[in-house]
Amino acid sequence: MSSGRLSAFAALNNSDSDHSDDDGIVGYTNDDDDLQVLEPLKLDLGLNQQQPQQPTPQQQQPIRHNPTIISNSKFKPTDDNIIYNDNYTIIGLKSMEYLMIRGQYELCIQRGAIKIDSITYHSNPNKFYKINASSLNSIPLIIATQVTSIDHTNDTKTKENEHLFHSDYKSVIKISNLFNGLESIGKLYPQLKNIYPNWSSNDDLLQQQQQQPMNEYEKLFFGYSFQLIINKSNYIATTILKTWQKQIDDLINQYLINLDTGKPFKVLIIGSKNSGKSTFLKLLLNELTTLVETLEIKVLDVDPGQTEYSNPDCISLSNHDSPIFGLYMPCESNSTKNEYIGFNTPQREPLNYIKKLKNLINELNEDSIVLINTPGWIKGFGIELLKEITNLITPTHLIYLTNNLTSNDETIENELLNNLKYDKLIKVQSFQLGNNNSTDIVKYSPAQIRNFKLLSYLHYDSNTKKYNFEPLISKSPLKISYFDSKMNTNDIINFNGICSISILDNGFNLNHLDIIECLECQIVAIISIELDEYLNLNEQLINSNLISMNENLPNLIKDSNILNDYPYDLLGLGLIHSVNTVENYINLYTPINMNSLKDKLETNSNKLVLIKGRSDLPIEEIMPRNILDLKNKNKENKKRKGKRTGDFDDCEVPYVSFSSNLGKGGKTSNIRRNIMRRAQQ
């Protein structure tokens, strides 16, 4: 490439980030991640100059059908078919009955067999299935089914459940409480207070009754970590289209053929947003992990905007050897390699995104079984991203979730598929709710789901395996020293703190004196670089004048892309509480294992660097409602009665000003929602 010419990716990478809505750039909006579909943008990364091979699509076009939506159990509780215990319930299911259960619980099959979504499981007293059925996604369906072989069953008959071992009942299951703190997220972030049953008081039960009336049997679930949905509700069960099941069965057969012939099995799933990509991938993943219990499936999650298997604002490669029912919590897994993107869209720094994607793909072996989850981006700039993905890893199967095709859609489809490399194309009917079905279904915005992912990550304790949603600012932060210009470069070897800081998308334009305002109350990635590599990096930064040093301030790397030239490990994310420029340390909250972090610091074999992206932090984290309520209560008591419950109203609250005096020339501003033109909707 000539020196006077920039690739489109490079041009985007160097563009002013404040003009993210310029023509030719396609991505999630800052407000709600709706896609803006503009003219296709032709990109040239020079990663692979080969022309894409001709696809071999199937001839049959999908037929559009509105799916049947299940919003409640097909089960009528009686005094005979359900047993209540302090910590669990036992339920007997008759033929064709099924359950929708919201919440977190462990399921054990005591008699016969059941289907969880599409997979059949037989009775086993030693087998427990952990299910996380939140309102953020569809709720798994538990169906009484026929035993495939009596040899597969290991029934558990006790005095408690013996009356359910009757010919009237086909299956008996035990559902146990699973409280891990996640159900309490609403105490910190009220917008998500109803994603799990969280009945800690009679007031909660009354409020739930007002929102959705419950019968006497449903009220008996008060105090459990789960709720049996008996009447029609505004929740939705996992919907498996008949065409999906057939295609999944065909893919399983194709995997077995590839296994015998030594061929790889790499499945890339694409489609527009809300077409069912994540659900289809999870169903296929569950079928594969059930087929062979020792089989390890890799999931490449490349959508930083709506992460399914990655930490917030990351893309990842995760290993799976067991099915996933309901919501997957990546912070609970130790078998995931994350790469920090720092934004909820690849658009911000596409070169950085592609580099991180290549790092993950390099972790794969030739015989790896890989399922790839992609953004809902199949037009314009999204085509270029998918093109680069298929250039880096040629999928054996390209799953395209699509609606009925009009003549206009065919043009778009050809533009999409003709630019991608793959061995076989399989068109699958996309999942779309009909207008009559979707009116009352509980829906959460992409921003709320991202906030759930971020808050659950920050409040997870890997030692106790629990979540604690007490506000972080009510706890003591971790204190870590940082390196500044007063220290000699040779001191780096013996320094066990933060050596430098990189700010994505803005390092060159940032005044070093403003770095504290840029860091406080912000999410950062914490990376570890081996000592020799960091010494080489530091030398390059100094020689190229790419590092800014200022007394008492952390060293600032001007060009964040230079870090991609050096290998490093992403330890995790953290929230900066404050920066002490007198004693040169940063107060930081992070769920990273402290022993692991301490070992890296004390041995001096690795050096720490912080990378700041543009992760959005919910205001509830820095200004929790209980603190605001207490301050307002004290203020009212002082005003009306001349009393107060404490001195809280006299102290300053971090990050927030309650003053109505905006200063000379100051004014309040209402943030305008990014309204798209009709042609872009």
Residues 186 and 248 in one domain: no
Written as six digits, the tokens of 284 are 């296929």
Q: What angle do CA 602, 582, 592 make, to 5 degrees?
A: 35
Q: How far apart are the first and last CA of the chain?
A: 36
Q: Is 451 helix (H, G, I), strand (E, B) or coil?
A: helix
Confidence of residue 130 (pLDDT cuts 50, 70, 90): very high
Residues 609 and 635 in one domain: no
Written as six digits, the tokens of 162 are 């013996």
Q: Is 143 helix (H, G, I), strand (E, B) or coil?
A: strand
pTM of the model: 0.84
Residues 253 and 391 in one domain: yes
Residue 196 resides in a domain: yes
What H or E segment, with its residue span, contains residue 424?
Answer: strand 424-429
Q: 219-272: per-residue pLDDT in tens?
A: 788 889 999 999 888 899 998 888 899 999 999 999 998 888 888 899 999 988
C-alpha atoms less than 13 angstroms from C-alpha of 433 in its C-beta half-sphere:
20
171 forms beta bridges with 93
Encoded amino acid at 217, one letter: Y
Residues 264 and 166 in one domain: no
Q: Does the pLDDT of residue 680 top 60, yes or no?
A: no
Q: Is 181 helix (H, G, I), strand (E, B) or coil?
A: coil
Residue 589 resides in a domain: yes
Residues 143 and 275 in one domain: no
For residue 482, give the nearest of 437, 444, 519, 430 by alpha carbon. 519
Q: Range with the lowest mean pLDDT among 23-37, 394-408, 462-476, 522-536?
A: 23-37
Rounded-to-integer distance, Cα 533 and Cα 555, Å: 17
Q: 516-528: per-residue pLDDT in tens?
A: 999 999 999 999 9
Residues 420 and 485 in one domain: no
Q: Is 223 helix (H, G, I), strand (E, B) or coil?
A: coil
Rounded-to-integer distance, Cα 573 and Cα 312, Å: 9
Encoded amino acid at 398, one letter: L
Rounded-to-integer distance, Cα 95 and Cα 171, Å: 8
Q: Does the pLDDT of residue 645 top 90, yes or no?
A: no
Largest CA-CA distance found in the chain, in angstroms, rounded? 83
State which of 167, 201, 228 marks the end of a domain.
228
Average pLDDT over residues 183-198: 91
Q: Does the pLDDT of residue 437 top 60, yes or no?
A: no
* Residue burial 392-404, b: 16+ Cβ < 10 Å; e: rest: bbbbbbbbbbbee
With contact defined as beta carbons under 8 Å apart, do 338 and 312 qualify? no
Q: What angle do CA 18, 22, 23 make, to 5 degrees?
A: 170
Rounded-to-integer distance, Cα 138 and Cα 131, Å: 12
Residue 434 resides in a domain: no
Encoded amino acid at 607, one letter: K
C-alpha atoms less than 13 angstroms from C-alpha of 528 in its C-beta half-sphere:
19
- Determine the structural domain holding residue 504 and report its residue range: 471-620
Residue 14 resides in a domain: no
Rounded-to-integer distance, Cα 273 and Cα 270, Å: 9
pLDDT score at 215: 65
Percent of the chain with pLDDT over 70: 76
Residue 288 resides in a domain: yes
CATH of the domain at 372: 3.40.50.300
Residue 661 resides in a domain: no
Q: What is the mean pLDDT of the chain?
A: 81
The highest-confidence range among 33-42, 289-298, 570-579, 659-668, by mean pLDDT, is: 570-579
Rounded-to-integer distance, Cα 287 and Cα 119, Å: 7
| 31 torsion bin: left (phi>0), alpha (psi -120 to 50), beta (else) | alpha
For residue 105, give the nearest of 129, 124, 86 by alpha carbon. 129
| 282 torsion bin: left (phi>0), alpha (psi -120 to 50), beta (else) | alpha
Rounded-to-integer distance, Cα 19 and Cα 486, Å: 38
Residue 178 resides in a domain: yes
Written as six digits, the tokens of 177 are 């409480």
State which of 228, 252, 274 marks the end of a domain.
228
Percent of the chain with pLDDT over 90: 51
Confidence of residue 43 (pLDDT cuts 50, 70, 90): very low
Average pLDDT over residues 300-324: 93
Residue 581 resides in a domain: yes
Confidence of residue 46 (pLDDT cuts 50, 70, 90): very low
Q: What angle do CA 343, 344, 345 make, to 5 degrees?
A: 90
Q: Which residue has the higher pLDDT, 550 or 19?
A: 550
Residues 375 and 508 in one domain: no
Rounded-to-integer distance, Cα 252 and Cα 287, Å: 8
Residues 509 and 399 in one domain: no
pLDDT score at 20: 36
pLDDT score at 635: 66
pLDDT score at 62: 47
Q: Range with the lowest mean pLDDT among 80-94, 105-119, 458-472, 498-512?
A: 498-512
Distances (CA, A) of 317 to 226, 296, 529: 31, 12, 20
Residues 91 and 135 in one domain: yes
Q: How many separate domains does the chain show? A: 4
pLDDT score at 429: 87
With contact defined as beta carbons under 8 Å apart, do 196 and 483 qualify? no
Average pLDDT over residues 70-79: 92
Token look-up 């999409």 returns 416
Rounded-to-integer distance, Cα 671 and Cα 410, Å: 39
Rounded-to-integer distance, Cα 302 and Cα 393, Å: 13
- The contacts of residue 292 (CB under 8 Å, 6+ apart) are none
Q: Does the pLDDT of residue 318 top 60, yes or no?
A: yes
pLDDT score at 641: 61
Confidence of residue 484 (pLDDT cuts 50, 70, 90): confident
Q: Does the pLDDT of residue 681 top 50, yes or no?
A: no
State which of 228, 257, 288 marks the end of a domain.
228
C-alpha atoms less than 13 angstroms from C-alpha of 288 in its C-beta half-sphere:
28
For residue 98, give the nearest of 37, 144, 159, 147 by alpha carbon. 144
Residues 389 and 290 in one domain: yes
Residues 423 and 514 in one domain: no
Average pLDDT over residues 273-282: 90
DSSP letter for each residue of 324-381: --B---GGG-SSEEEEE--SSSTTSSHHHHHHHHHHHHTT--TT-EEEEE--S--STH
Computed over its alpha carbons, how large is the radius of gyration of the chain? 27
Rounded-to-integer distance, Cα 316 and Cα 330, Å: 10
pLDDT score at 29: 31
pLDDT score at 23: 31
Residues 358 and 413 in one domain: yes
With contact defined as beta carbons under 8 Å apart, do 374 and 270 qualify? yes
Q: 534-587: per-residue pLDDT in tens?
A: 999 999 999 999 999 988 999 999 988 899 999 999 999 999 999 999 999 999
Q: Is 123 helix (H, G, I), strand (E, B) or coil?
A: coil
